[in-house]
Amino acid sequence: MELRNIAIIAHVDHGKTTLVDEMLKQSGIYRDNEETVERAMDSNDLERERGITILAKATSVVWKGTRINIVDTPGHADFGGEVERILSMVDGVVLLVDAAEGPMPQTKFVTQKALAQGLRPIVVLNKVDKADAEPDRALDECFDLFVNLDASDAQLDFPTLYASGRAGWADETLDGPRKDLHALFDLIVDYVPAPEQEQHRDQPFRMLATTLAADPYLGRLLTGRVESGTLKVGASIKALSRDGSLIENFRVTKILAFRGLTQQAIDLAEAGDIVSVAGMTKATVADTLCAPEVSAAIPAQPIDPPTITVTFGINDSPLAGKDGDKVQSRVIRARLMREAETNVAIRVTDTPGGDAFEVAGRGELQMGVLIENMRREGFELSISRPQVLFREENGKRLEPVEEVTIDVDDEYSGVVIEKLAARKGEMTEMRPSGVGKTRIIAHVPSRGLIGYHGEFLTDTRGTGVLNRVFHEWAPYKGAIPGRRAGVLISMESGVSVAYALYNLEERGKLFIGAQVQVYQGMIIGEHSRGNDLEVNPLKGKKLTNVRASGTDEAVRLTTPIRFSLEEAIAYIDTDELVEVTPKAIRLRKRHLDPHERKRESRKMQD
């Protein structure tokens, strides 16, 4: 059977996963009476809740005798480590662009990687049936984007389809029949080249491992595209590292291929196909699996370096161990090492005390997803504020700078520009983007963006859209002002009382309500002034035997501010931590004892 390997790339929310759903339905994967699932490719709980793709997934459909392997890739730059490796397995890309929004920052990030690998794109203008769709403008912007990314003449001569993934149609013209996706299937078969590897079937077996998974029954599973030769179950092969040194020899216990939504066991893997291999104990991502006679490793794609680091520590608060069952540092370390093994964009290092671990990655979202997964697995952690990683080059200190694209209502553009300037951002472009909207593009240090997203949503009344992508390493831009307000710190341990909180409301905004377990050193609110203030949330009303009319009515509290995980991590200062348990997210001071805090602050001043 002929093969085609394609990746579907797009910005977040432009409809990749929905389009793949329709492709599966129309290619006959499902039986007529079979129940179908919306966004079948987003299988992970977090992906379904957040409506984003975090892990790349593969599937395959058969169209007119040709098997099309489809890889659905993440759109967020934080998960870029996935995207780069996936693109090395395919021979073509379908670039999906929202006809109303046009190409967006993450479109640029993924497209740049695809063009650099010489892949020729098919552009699908999606959601053309929306009221605000402007397909002609979106198409012009795609062409301009390709030119800016130094696309070759062959890549600039791309075919275009107009589509609605949700309605399940794609046509060559805007006024086409709008019935089905046949035009897309036919274009993929005709335009995307067959894998070159198909010509190397008579050579020794070689495969570059691009993703790693763990199966409770099969053990480690390495997925990749077979570069040459064939592989049978039971064959003895070896794994080579990037530099060609031997990692291990092993026997193949199982070969799985993507067939529809499931992976099926097959007896023989052939050059060009995307398969998963089981049987190894040490080999990992970027290693070469090959026949015993092969001595050279397949070159692996370099991975962009991490830009931020977060400290994961044990939970040492007075409430530790109440919610979770995984609290020891060795268990946390084992889990982080497992994550670093499967996710090449993450680096884990031990700290001198052994109770905490430095985890370096691409961005706050990637860290937030890792922490959220761990708390759902029963872990309790204390998390530090993200710190940006710096580089030394030719005696200069360099820091990561991100390109930020903001779409905002005209009335809020002034406050956004002011905030970006305060965070050492440099505006590169500002133009209208639809009725009453402005698009602002700026280069901002990653340091300045930590914690900005929540503030940005407040400033724009929740209507603004902010996208960011790594731009370059640039010379250090100087100090950036941090959080201006101080915090309210509990001076007692116990259960919070409504009467006490009511009297504290004039001091600032509260993060907790009544009847909440608190402890000394826990942050319970934001002070209305710039300094930290110790308060007592347990103080009850003094009782007398005199009844005063009107004063004994029920206390009405303002609704407290509730932080999401990412907001909490971005909010804290360097001397604070986020306590994360399966049931709670609490903010606290690093040193719970007030005398210890004073000693530390004196040391910092000295």
CA distance linking residue 551 with residue 129, whole number of Å: 60
The beta-strand segments (E) located in 266-333 are: 268-270, 274-278, 288-290, 308-314
Render 564-603 in DSSP notation, one character per residue.
Answer: -HHHHHHH--TTEEEEE-SS-EEEEESS-SHHHHHHHHHH
Summarize the chain as % helix, strand, coil (round to 5): 25, 35, 40
Q: Please check the confidence at residue 517 and state whether its pLDDT lies above 70.
A: yes
pLDDT at 104 over 80: no
Model pLDDT, residue 25: 82
Indicate if the alpha-carbon torsion angle 293, 295, 296, 297 is positive or negative. positive
* Sequential DSSP letters for 512-539: --SS-EE-TTEEEEEESSSS-EEE-TT-
Averaged pLDDT, 214-225: 83
Which helix or strand (DSSP H or E) is residue 66 part of?
A: strand 66-72
Does an H or E element contain 17, and which?
Answer: helix 16-26
Ordered domains of the chain (ranges, CATH): 2-194 (3.40.50.300), 198-290 (2.40.30.10), 391-475 (3.30.70.240), 487-605 (2.40.50.250)
Cβ burial 534-553 (10 Å sphere, 16+ → b, else e)? ebebbeeeeeeeeeeeeeee
The pLDDT, as a whole number, for residue 278 is 92
pLDDT given at position 251:
95
Q: Is the pLDDT of residue 30 over 60?
A: no
| Other CB atoms within 10 A of residue 217 CB | 6
Per-residue model confidence (pLDDT) at position 544: 62
The CB density around residue 342, as the number of other CB atoms within 10 Å, is 15
Which of 73-77, 169-173, 401-405, 461-465 has the weakest average pLDDT?
73-77
The CA distance from 91 to 495, in Å, is 61
For residue 456, is pLDDT > 70?
Answer: yes
> How much is the pLDDT for 321?
87
Query: How would residue 204 be classed by pLDDT, with cut points 50, 70 and 90?
Result: very high
- For residue 79, pLDDT over 60 is answered with no
Q: What's the confidence (pLDDT) of residue 38?
A: 40
Q: Helix 413-422 and helix 452-459: axis angle, to 10°? A: 160
The separation between the first and the last C-alpha atoms of the chain, rounded to the nearest angstrom, is 73
Contact present, 114 and 7 (Cβ < 8 Å): yes
> How far apart, in whole angstroms, are the C-alpha atoms of residue 449 and residue 454?
10
Neighbours of 284 (CB within 10 A): 17
Give the per-residue pLDDT at 51. 42
pLDDT of 165 reads 82
Q: What pLDDT band is residue 41 in, cutting at 50, 70 and 90?
A: very low
What's the confidence (pLDDT) of residue 237? Answer: 95
Query: Which two structure tokens, joined as six digits, stand for 286?
Result: 């970027």
Query: pLDDT: is 471 or 81 the higher one?
Result: 471
Q: What is the pLDDT of residue 554?
A: 66
Q: Taking Cα atoms as reference points, which of 530, 538, 531, 548 lies closest to residue 504? A: 538
Is the predicted pLDDT of residue 588 greater than 80, yes or no?
yes
**Of the spans 74-83, 237-246, 477-486, which averages the highest pLDDT?**
237-246
- Section 149-177 average pLDDT: 89
| 289-316 pLDDT tens trace | 999 999 899 887 666 678 889 999 999 9
Residue 573: the pLDDT is 85
Give the model's pLDDT for residue 111. Answer: 83
Residues facing 308 on adjacent strands: 361, 388
- Residue 414, beta-bridge partner list: none
Q: What's the chain's average pLDDT?
A: 83
Q: Give the dihedral sign, CA 359/362/368/369.
A: negative
Task: Evaluate if residue 453 carries a pLDDT over 80.
Answer: no
**pTM for the whole structure:** 0.69
DSSP annotation of 196 reads G
In the chain, pLDDT over 70 holds for what percent of residues?
87
**pLDDT tens-digit readout, 46-61:** 434 444 433 345 788 8
C-beta of residue 586 within 8 angstroms of C-beta of residue 571:
no
Q: What is the pLDDT of residue 106?
A: 62
pLDDT at 29: 58
Select, from the ranges 12-21, 27-36, 49-58, the one with the highest average predicted confidence (pLDDT): 12-21
In whole angstroms, what separates CA 34 from the centre of its chain?
32
Question: What percentage of the chain exceeds 90 in pLDDT?
Answer: 30
Distances (CA, A) of 373 to 46, 324, 336, 343, 368: 8, 13, 11, 14, 9
Euclidean distance between CA atoms 543 and 549, whole angstroms: 14
Question: What pLDDT was estimated at residue 483?
Answer: 65
Q: Over the range 346-356, which residues count as b (16 or more CB within 10 Å of their CB) and which as e?
A: bebeeeeeeeb
Q: List, for residues 226-275, the tens digit of each pLDDT value.
A: 999 999 999 999 999 888 899 999 999 999 988 776 778 999 998 888 89
pLDDT value of residue 40: 39
- Under a CB-based contact definition with an 8 Å cutoff, are residues 274 and 198 in contact? no
* Higher pLDDT, residue 272 or 71: 272
Give the type of residue at 248.
Answer: E
pLDDT of residue 292: 94
Q: Would strands 92-98 and 66-72 be described as parallel, antiparallel, or unpaired? A: unpaired
What is the pLDDT confidence band of residue 550, given thresholds at 50, 70 and 90? low
pLDDT at 540 over 60: yes
Distance of CA 193 to the CA centre of its chain: 31
